[in-house]
Amino acid sequence: MDRFLYDPFYDSVSPLKDTTVNPYIKKILDLDQSKPSVLLYGQKLKDWKDHGKFFDLSTYSKLCLEIGSYSGTTLVDLASRNPDVFFIGMDITFKRVYQSATALLKAGLSNASVFLYNALFLDKIFPKSFLDGVVIFFPDPWTKEKKRKNRLVSTKFTQGIYTLLKPGAFFWLRTDQLFYYEDTKNYLEQAGFKHNGSLSINHEGVSSSFNTTFNLKNQQTYELIYTK
C-alpha cells in the first residue's frame, strides 16, 4: 500500500492476491470480474476516460468528483438525485472503495464509479477544465501540529482543483473543524474561486456518514460552496 501513496498508478491490489493481508483485496478482485467498471484502480486509471472504455461520459451533462467517498453514502445520494450527472467517488483504502462500489451496485446506479486513488495526484487522471464539481465532506483534519502535513486541502491542492474545474464549476466542502473551514476559505479565495453558495446539481439534504454522526452529537459543522 505504501508505494501506492506516491505512485498513484501502482496496482496495490493484484500483487496481494494470495495473501490474507486484507480481506477486501479478494472482494475487489472478484468485483473486477463481475463488474469491471464500478471500481477502478492501478493501471486501469491511466487511460480511464479514453474511448468510452469503462463508461460513456458523452451521455452525461456533467462530471463531478467526490473525494473521500468512505462507505458511499454521499455518492449514492448524489448519483440517485442527479441521473444526468456522472459521479466519481474516490478513496484510498481497500475497504472504503469496496464499500462505496457495492453501495452503488445495491442502489442499481450506473451513473457513478469508484476510484482507488490518492487525491493528491488528481492532475495525472483529469485534464484541465474537465470537472463540473468537486465534493469533499469531512476530510481528515489532522489536528495535531506534527501531523498537519497530512492534510489533504492546502494551497497547492486548491490551486490544482481550480485548474481541473471548468469555468462556473463548484467546490463544495464540509468540515467539523473551524480552522479547516477558515484555512480552506483562504486557499479558495487565493486560488481565484468566487463565493456564491450555489450548486449546479440537485443537492438538498445530501448528507454523509460523518455528517450524520456530528448531527447526532449536536456538533457544529461548517460548509463552503465556491465556484470557479
Phi, psi of 226 (to 5 degrees): -125, 155
Give dist(CA 62, CA 206) in Å, integer.
18
Running DSSP on this structure, what letter comes out for residue 66?
Answer: E
Give dist(CA 112, CA 103) in Å, integer.
11
Task: Provide the minimum distance between the beta carbon of 106 and ligand SAM in the complex, in angstroms, as a whole number.
Answer: 17
Residue 114 interacts with ligand SAM (CB under 6 A): yes or no = no
Residue 137 interacts with ligand SAM (CB under 6 A): yes or no = yes
Q: Contact with ligand SAM (CB under 6 A): which of 28, 75, 109, 119? A: 119
Running DSSP on this structure, what letter comes out for residue 116?
Answer: E
Give dist(CA 134, CA 117) in Å, integer.
15
Residue nearest to ligand SAM (CB): 68
Residue 211 interacts with ligand SAM (CB under 6 A): yes or no = yes
Torsional class of 168: left (φ above 0), alpha (ψ -120 to 50), beta (otherwise): left
Residue 8 interacts with ligand SAM (CB under 6 A): yes or no = no
Q: Contact with ligand SAM (CB under 6 A): which of 96, 157, 201, 225? A: 96
Contact 61, 84 (CB under 8 A): yes
Beta strand 194-195 with 222-227 is antiparallel
Residue 70 interacts with ligand SAM (CB under 6 A): yes or no = yes
- What does the CA dihedral 83, 84, 85, 89 come to, rounded to 10 degrees? 30
The verdict on whether 140 is a catalytic residue reads yes
Q: Which is nearer to ligand SAM, 67 or 109 (CB)?
A: 67
Mark 162-201 with x for binding to ligand SAM (rule: CB under 6 A) and - for no binding: ----------------------------------------
Residues that bind ligand SAM (CB under 6 A): 67-68, 70, 90-93, 96, 118-120, 137-140, 152, 208-211
Which of the residues are catalytic? 140
